Structure 1
């Protein structure tokens, strides 16, 4: 086998691992391009897969791409391939999110052994939308998860008491807005009431009202579409419908009927974590995505299941109150749910050849 073919296979394996990362509504908003000779991989935002209503500033898009970037780094460590990563290398091309130099001369990212240990979890981690046990996390587990986030420049905190209650209330409010938006959309009219999109035009601003939050319907797959899709969230990964409990697990059905779907009682005292950064720029979002993924992989190796609580993050006025109430420091980029329970169902991924392009020599 010639050297170029071996390089192509190695890069394909790296990207196959990268795209196992989670992204909002499993939109998979990434593209990879490999330079001639496979010396450099470029990560681009796939803006055609953006979610304009739920993620108008692209924050969640960057977080998902950051998670894919972290998987790629763990995959390179597994392959004993040193790398050097540069975030947002070209201010004139903001869609170019990162450049990863493969086997560069000089200084590399380092931390190879720690990354290598996380690699087995890349394809084991799946979002679990099932009930978790009441068992709490140990002090050692909490410390380990905090340390994982800190290694990527983020902070992980575990709300308790009144702060936890507030986080749950804000998630419920976000879910309620989603349900209202879905009902309005199904009725063929503009969103009103609690489901209204604060960014949408209204009767008083001279613009036609627009339906709020169509993203959820666009990226969920029910019926025959669930069996053939290679993106989005299929009905078989929705998890059971909640009939009790406080775990803020999003109902991707959003009021639609799903044949054969069961109901279940979820935990009354969910274990949530807030992942925060000091600033709120695209670079911080990419770092948050890497911190999130490192934390999720560490949790998976430690026997924990996990899922996301993004409902409140999709509404600016609900996201702001999430921050730690005493110090007020940090901007919450992601809310995570941890616990002991089913690992969750794998969601589909696009074929690697659709997201990876090799530049001609």
Structure 2
């Protein structure tokens, strides 16, 4: 019988510090954690006020974000020698409760430790919205990224050149729609924070990236500002390396698994010295999301495009967490 690990305040704080380092759409950080010292259970909840009603009406992207934070929490627990037992969507009557985590321990000899450098990658992983070098990523690293997604319950598709161009065209179409939709543009701008702003959420202006002078990589234009107010365009990599993260089903628990898989892939890439950014625009329009699915694959439900490669590090974005003990 597995023994239950007793968590003190310092341990809980360290677990949550790792959890909130996860990426989230527009850095909304739509998670809240509640620790019950009696049951020694951590609850992972969604935050209704940090939603994007127009961009993410089904809250699928919110679930991806929470799933990424959940993976970090699990990884931090393993790093401390504890075994995390996770239940997704444990209460059908409490839709805001997305997961519960109970730590038992210590890890046994049969437990598989995390890959070397994966936990340390939590602090180093940042979204890089700047041009990459175009240097090809070695196949063994790509294979590890693919295996990471599969281990977390998702799939990672690496398209060929024609497939990459198709996905980038769909992303560009979505970006154009977002740019001409006043409501969505305003919703996005609300999460931009000015330099020196006293906030733990949102994307600082200093973290925004330039547009691609070649028009190949449709990075999100958060500000919607016309030239010359936007950042000067730079030439992005000629050969974009993309991966499509998808799941065979499209339920709420699949979204949480996809979020965990996303973070597993991002940390694997970071541990190998890669930089990453996410292209989510096409997933925000039902017809374009359906078009990103693998051709002739009836059970492919796309969630996000991952751009990866070698290049400059991303800027630091603010982080915070809300924890309440009962």
TM-score by length of 2: 0.92
Deviating more after overlay: 252-261 vs 156-165 = 252-261
Matched with 2:98 is: 97
- 2:52 aligned with 1:51: yes
Q: 1:218 aligns with which of 190, 206, 226?
A: 190
- The question of whether the paired residues in 2 share the 8 Å contact of 1:30 and 1:45 is answered with yes
Matched with 1:166 is: 166
Give the whole-Å Cα distance in 1 for the aligned partners of 2:113 and 2:6.
Answer: 27
Q: CA RMSD in A?
A: 2.3
Please state how far the C-alpha of 1:137 moved relative to its aligned partner: 1.7
Give the whole-Å Cα distance in 1 for the aligned partners of 2:111 and 2:60.
Answer: 27
Give the whole-Å Cα distance in 1 for the aligned partners of 2:146 and 2:63.
Answer: 21
Matched with 2:312 is: 342
Q: Give the 3-state SS of the residue equivalent to 2:8 in structure 1.
A: helix
Matched with 2:323 is: 356
Q: Give the 3-state SS of the residue equivalent to 1:312 in structure 2.
A: helix
- Pick the structure with greater CA Rg: 1
Q: Deviations over 1:70-106 (max 9, x none)?
A: 000111111112221100000111110000002269x
- The question of whether the paired residues in 2 share the 8 Å contact of 1:87 and 1:283 is answered with yes
Give the whole-Å Cα distance in 2 for the aligned partners of 1:259 and 1:38.
Answer: 54
Q: Give the 3-state SS of the residue equivalent to 1:122 in structure 2.
A: helix
Please state how far the C-alpha of 1:259 moved relative to its aligned partner: 6.8
Matched with 1:254 is: 224
Q: 1:301 aligns with which of 238, 260, 271?
A: 271
Matched with 1:329 is: 299
Q: Deviations over 1:190-214 (max 9, x none)?
A: xxxxxxxxxxxxxxxxxxxxx3453
Matched with 2:31 is: 30
Give the whole-Å Cα distance in 1 for the aligned partners of 2:253 and 2:180.
Answer: 33
Runs of 4+ in structure 1 over 6 Å off = 257-260
Distance 1:258 1:33, change over 3 A: farther
Give the whole-Å Cα distance in 2 for the aligned partners of 1:227 and 1:94.
Answer: 33
Q: Give the 3-state SS of the residue equivalent to 1:140 in structure 2.
A: helix
- The question of whether the paired residues in 1 share the 8 Å contact of 2:275 and 2:309 is answered with yes
Please state how far the C-alpha of 1:301 moved relative to its aligned partner: 0.4
Q: Deviations over 1:10-29 (max 9, x none)?
A: 00110011000000000000
Q: Where does the alignment leave 5 or more consecutive residues of structure 2 unmatched?
A: none
Please state how far the C-alpha of 1:63 moved relative to its aligned partner: 0.3
Matched with 1:288 is: 258
Please state how far the C-alpha of 1:38 moved relative to its aligned partner: 6.7
Q: Deviations over 1:264-319 (max 9, x none)?
A: 11112211100010100110000000000000000000111000000111111110
Matched with 1:233 is: 203
Give the whole-Å Cα distance in 2 for the aligned partners of 1:5 and 1:85.
Answer: 16
Matched with 1:121 is: 121
Matched with 1:136 is: 136
Distance 1:212 1:346, change over 3 A: closer
Q: Where does the alignment leave 5 or more consecutive residues of structure 1 unmatched?
A: 186-210
Please state how far the C-alpha of 1:250 moved relative to its aligned partner: 1.5
- The question of whether the paired residues in 2 share the 8 Å contact of 1:27 and 1:232 is answered with yes
Give the whole-Å Cα distance in 1 for the aligned partners of 2:168 and 2:37.
Answer: 49
Matched with 1:197 is: none
- The question of whether the paired residues in 1 share the 8 Å contact of 2:45 and 2:97 is answered with yes
1:137-152 paired onto structure 2 within 5 Å: 137-152=137-152
- 2:242 aligned with 1:272: yes
- The question of whether the paired residues in 2 share the 8 Å contact of 1:74 and 1:115 is answered with no
Length, aligned pairs only: 321
Matched with 1:84 is: 85
Matched with 2:61 is: 60
Give the whole-Å Cα distance in 2 for the aligned partners of 1:6 and 1:158.
Answer: 41
Give the whole-Å Cα distance in 2 for the aligned partners of 1:6 and 1:332.
Answer: 37
